[in-house]
Amino acid sequence: MSYLPNLIVPRVRAKTDHCPILGCAVHQRRYRLMCWRHWLTVPPWLRDKVWRLTVTAQGTPVLVAAITEAFRAAKQGPPPSLWFLIRQYLRR
């Protein structure tokens, strides 16, 4: 998977209209997995994995497991500031 799609939140049918991360109240369209800022706090390798499975393994338990993993790996609480995301990017 190339680098760019990594930054885009995959479209997956979600149960709620809100970002599912605990403590986040960002309203979003139904088909987004989580809000963009929380998505960027998921480790890049895991974002790649979710994207790959979204394309190749739609509707399978493997994808569900990867999504659950991403929810756990994302920073909990309110969506991080842009400064937080930039600092995180520069650190790695």
Where does this chain bind Zn ion (CB under 5 A)?
19, 21, 24, 26, 35, 38, 79
**Residues 55, 17, 28, 67: is their CA dihedral positive or negative?**
negative
Rounded to the nearest whole angstrom, what is the least distance from the CB of residue 56 to Zn ion in the complex? 26
3-state secondary structure 14-27: CCCCECCCCCCCCE
Residue 2 or 27 having the CB closest to Zn ion? 27
Rounded CA-CA distance 2/82 in Å is 23
Rounded to the nearest whole angstrom, what is the least distance from the CB of residue 29 to Zn ion in the complex? 13
Residue 15 or 59 having the CB closest to Zn ion? 15
Residue 21 or 66 having the CB closest to Zn ion? 21
Residue entry with tokens 């930039």: 86
